[in-house]
A and B are shown apart, each in its own frame.
Chain A
Amino acid sequence: SQQGEEDPQALSIQEGENATMNCSYKTSINNLQWYRQNSGRGLVHLILIRSNEREKHSGRLRVTLDTSKKSSSLLITASRAADTASYFCATAFSGTYKYIFGTGTRLKVLA
C-alpha cells in the first residue's frame, strides 16, 4: 500500500481562499516533501520538511509535520488560479533509496 496518502482526493475553492491538504504515512521518515504537478507535466518540488522540524514556510506555503500522528499538511494561502494543479507528498526514510509518493490531491482554484 502507499506510504503516503493524501486527503482530500480533490478540492475546489475560490480564488483568494486558503487550501489545505493532508498527507498520512505509515513508517518513520527522514523527511517529507511536497510536489506540485500541473496537468500532464512533470513534478515540481515545493518544500521539504525534516523529521525534526514541525513547521516550515515558503512564500504562501506552510507545511506542518506531526511525527506522532504520522501526518503532514500543506496550506496554500490566498490561492490563485495558477495554483490549480495536483499536489503530492513524498516520504523518504533511512536505509532506502526510495521516495514513496502518495496518490495526490487535485486542487482547482476558481477565478
Chain B
Amino acid sequence: DVKVTQSSRYLVKRTGEKVFLECVQDMDHENMFWYRQDPGLGLRLIYFSYDVKMKEKGDIPEGYSVSREKKERFSLILESASTNQTSMYLCASSLKRVGYNEQFFGPGTRLTVL
C-alpha cells in the first residue's frame, strides 16, 4: 500500500521557534510538494521539489524553506514561526511527469503557533 507519512498530526509551537515538518514517501516518486490549507483559500503551494537537492518556490514561500537530501524525504522548515503560519500543512508526492499524474497526499499536520 503506497504511503506518504508526515511526522506529526498536531503540533503546537511558540512564536519565534524554528519548526521542522517532515514528509516521507515510499513510492520512489521524483516530485514532492508542500501545501498549506486555510479555510476559504483552498490549497496553496509553498514549495515543490523535482529531485534530490532541487526545489522551486510555489505561490507562498515567504517565511518557509525546504530541504530534500534524500529522494524519499522532503522537509518544510519554518525559520521563525509566526501566528499567521497557523494552518494545516499537507505534503504530497507524484511521479515525474508533472501535470499528468495524480498526487498522493499525507494525512496533514495541523500546526498552531501561539
Pick out which of these stretches binds chain B: A39-47, A52-60, A77-85: A39-47
| 0/1 string, B97-114, CB within 8 A of A gives 1 | 011101111111010000
Which listed residue (B42, B48, B104) contacts A103, Cβ 8 A?
B42
**Contact call A101/B107, Cβ cutoff below 8 A:** no
CB <8 Å contact, B102 and A92: no
Minimum CB–CB distance for A23 against chain B, Å: 12
Q: Which residues of A contact B4 (CB under 8 A)?
A: 42
Main secondary structure of the interface of B (DSSP, over half): strand
A residues near B (Cβ < 8 Å) are 2, 30-31, 33, 35, 40-45, 48, 88, 90, 92-94, 96-99, 101-104
B43 at the interface (CB under 8 A from A): yes
Contact of B24 with A by CB under 8 A: no
B contact residues, range: 20 to 34
Instruction: Decide if A48 touches B41 in the complex (CB within 8 Å).
Output: no
List, in ascending order, chain A residues with CB within 8 A of B106's CB.
Answer: 42
Return the contact of A43 from the options B48, B58, B105 (Cβ within 8 A).
Answer: B105
- Using an 8 Å CB-CB cutoff, how does the interface string of B30-70 with A read, 1 for contact, 0 for none? 01010100001111010010100000101000000000000
Contact A101 B99 (CB under 8 A): no
